Amino acid sequence: MPVVQASDIEGNALQSGESGWHAIACRILSDYADAETGRPHESIPDSAWDRLRAMKIDGLFRAADPRSGLLQSAYARIEAMQQASAAEAVQALLARDVTPLAFKGVDLTPRYFADGSPSAMNDIDLLVKRDEIGRARTALLGLGFRQAYFDETRGALVDADIADIADVERMHYELYPFRRILPIDFEPAVAAELRASPAKQPLVFDDDGGAWLVDEIDLHHSVALDVDPQPLFARARMSVVPGALALDAADHLWLITSRCYNEVALHGKRSLRDFAYIVGILRHESVDWSRVLAVASEYEMRPALYYYLRFADSLFSNRVVDPEVWSRLDPRQGSRARDWGWQLACLFDTLDAFPEWAKRPGGGHPPACP
């Protein structure tokens, strides 16, 4: 099976005559994979910079550029407040005999990105056991969180309608989000840069220049509709959030990779931040591949893991995944009902090349794309 590698995307982007943000994005991720994030990058066009911010990996960019420093300081400030909020929530949950499991950014960002987060984290993900949901909800409400949404026209949180809450919680493996708004201070130049950001971020600004953090906790009772969460607790390790558990490396790897793949295909996700997490796990952890492969087989997850893990592995100058893993994850071995191919073209704003094997004998090609 032909393999799409980071170098292919870099080459195609540079030949296209476009802004080249594709190549810059791959180079930034590759530098992180090879522990070279301290190496300064060249200056880049504003259009490429905006794309990196929209794709939520601009925090990995190192350059003698004032924008980079401003945003790094902002991301550090946001992360510090979110980690403090997570710690407060965990202590409130523990006081009600609920032991939460932290996953995704709240646990991985401090583990792998001590020199700076890839971007601002939008929310805090916590997993609790289903029979603890009632106590967990009470604990968060007691901290001033509300199941609410931010109404931009009113400039305030508005409690969600009980019917909307019921619809979300009946059909999903998580509760309607818990939110509160906290004041957050930035220097004027930092606030201006954040206001101009094209990326989704957990901030709102008032007309007087003040900034507010939308502090959000997503409370889960599972990680997918068809996945039993109990083994995740049995295999959990201690989180960097005091008092909480966390997914171990293998479970984090298959969860983040498969969720990202499905969200790109089904929900229009357009972010590269998850690849930074995937690379972080591959770079820093000893992954139990037998478990990853077992999960892939049990939940027919081969396509969701094969394509994106293979791309992430290509970001390393020396591959870190055993070739045997690829033969075991080959999507042709099971159901291909959710096999959408590489799905890298939509993430990098490119077009997939027409497959060589499908070209007519004698060199016939399909019509060129406009």
Domain boundaries defined on the chain: 65-247
Residues of the chain short of pLDDT 50, as ranges, are 10-19, 369-370
State the Cα–Cα distance between residues 193 and 63, nearest whole angstrom: 16
pLDDT score for 320? 95
DSSP bridge partners of 220: 127, 174
pLDDT score for 14? 38
State the Cα–Cα distance between residues 44 and 65, nearest whole angstrom: 9
Q: Which helix (H) or strand (E) holds 137?
A: helix 133-142
pLDDT score for 206? 84
pLDDT score for 4? 62
What is the per-residue pLDDT across 241-252, written as a single tens digit (0 to 9) for each?
999 999 999 999
pLDDT score for 365? 57
State the Cα–Cα distance between residues 76 and 320, nearest whole angstrom: 30
pLDDT score for 353? 82
User: Tokens 């407040």 map to which residue?
Assistant: 81
pLDDT score for 37? 57
pLDDT score for 367? 56
pLDDT score for 361? 73
pLDDT score for 357? 80
Say whether 101 sits in a helix, a strand or coil.
strand
Closest CA to 232 of 121, 107, 331: 107
Say whether 214 sits in a helix, a strand or coil.
strand
Cα-Cα-Cα-Cα dihedral of 316, 320, 321, 324, to 10°? Answer: 120
CATH classification number, 65-247, choose in 3.40.50, 1.10.3470, 3.20.20, 3.30.460 = 3.30.460
